[in-house]
């Protein structure tokens, strides 16, 4: 599997979802059809050990595993990278300073200040003589402040992608979950233009099935929904289908 960072920087199309349900087996099953997954340490009730098992499961499926966490959670970020995550997603980045501080902690000297830990990352494929891949660092833009500062944020060396969190940004702009709202479309366009100017990958995350075509334009990364929501929709659909078939029986019996 090629390094995630290389694919992102090449503009390769990448489709993914957010993982919130613990367990390596569940992660392998749910990650299999996707190019990448975000393991959610921002909102989900998960700890570092849960996340490490989910990284293992996703990578067993041949899927890139990133961990999403608060941009200021530097110690947790280093722990997850040592556990073998292919990259990190910094939630709600609002300034270049926030991005720069996190990227410094994501890189070993001389590029940054991250300490060396002989954990899963450095011990994987140790007999093959391969060096660990450099992690990919993404910023998530979820606020008006982040949109206003996007050009400066993308000037920080080491930012591989900017992904708009459409749900949180819609709330921040006063148009909750309205992906057709002119204000949201304008904000996303600002991020899109800044990414094009900086040569940085542009992506969208959120409940994207209702997004208009204008929102998708220029995106090489799409992260749709969450594992829990996708599973709930599938289960709801199956249950509704069975009830419809049962109700259509002439005498109401099976």
| Count, residues in the chain | 254
pLDDT score at 175: 97
CATH of the domain at 27: 3.20.20.60
- Sorted by sequence, the CB contacts under 8 Å of residue 49 that are 6+ apart come out as none
Q: What is the pLDDT of residue 59?
A: 95
Distance CA(54)–CA(25), nearest Å, equals 8
Residue 166 is inside which H or E element, if any?
helix 166-172
pLDDT at 252 over 70: no
> Could you give the CA distance from residue 126 to residue 207 in angstroms, rounded to a whole number?
40
Q: Which of 35-49, 54-68, 114-128 has the lowest mean pLDDT?
A: 114-128
To the nearest whole number, what is the mean pLDDT of the chain? 91
* 191 within 8 A of 147, measured Cβ to Cβ: yes
pTM: 0.89
Tell me how many domains the chain contains: 1
Q: What is the pLDDT of residues 54-106, one digit of tens each?
A: 999 999 999 999 999 999 999 999 899 988 899 999 999 999 999 999 998 87
239 in a domain, yes or no?
no
Q: Say what the pLDDT of residue 250 is.
A: 81
Domain span at residue 184 reads 4-226
Report residue 126's pLDDT band, with 50, 70 and 90 as the boundaries. very low
Task: State how far the Cα of 72 lies from the Cα of 82, in Å rounded to an integer.
Answer: 17
Residue 250 counted as domain residue: no
């Amino acid at each position: 599997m090629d390094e995630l960072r290389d694919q992102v920087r090449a503009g390769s199309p990448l489709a993914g979802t957010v993982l919130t349900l613990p367990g390596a087996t569940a992660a392998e099953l749910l990650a299999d059809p996707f190019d990448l997954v975000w393991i959610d340490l921002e909102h989900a009730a998960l700890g570092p050990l849960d996340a490490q098992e989910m990284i293992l499961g996703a990578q067993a499926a041949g899927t890139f595993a990133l961990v999403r966490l608060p941009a200021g959670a530097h110690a947790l970020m280093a722990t997850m990278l040592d556990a073998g995550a292919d990259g990190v997603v910094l939630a709600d980045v609002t300034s270049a300073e926030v991005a720069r501080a996190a990227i410094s902690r994501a890189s070993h000297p001389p590029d940054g200040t991250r300490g060396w830990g002989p954990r899963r990352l450095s011990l994987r494929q140790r007999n093959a003589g391969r060096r660990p891949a450099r992690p990919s660092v993404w910023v998530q833009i979820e606020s008006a402040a982040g949109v206003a500062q996007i050009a400066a944020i993308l000037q920080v060396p080491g930012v591989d992608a900017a992904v708009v969190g459409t749900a949180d940004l819609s709330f921040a702009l006063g148009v909750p979950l309205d992906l057709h709202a002119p204000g949201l479309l304008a904000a996303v366009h600002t991020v899109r233009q800044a990414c094009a100017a900086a040569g940085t990958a542009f992506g969208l995350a959120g409940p994207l099935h209702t997004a208009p075509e204008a929102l998708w334009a220029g995106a090489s990364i799409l992260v749709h929904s969450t594992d829990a929501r996708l599973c709930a929709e599938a289960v709801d659909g199956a249950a509704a289908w069975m009830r419809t078939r049962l109700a259509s029986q002439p005498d109401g019996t099976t």
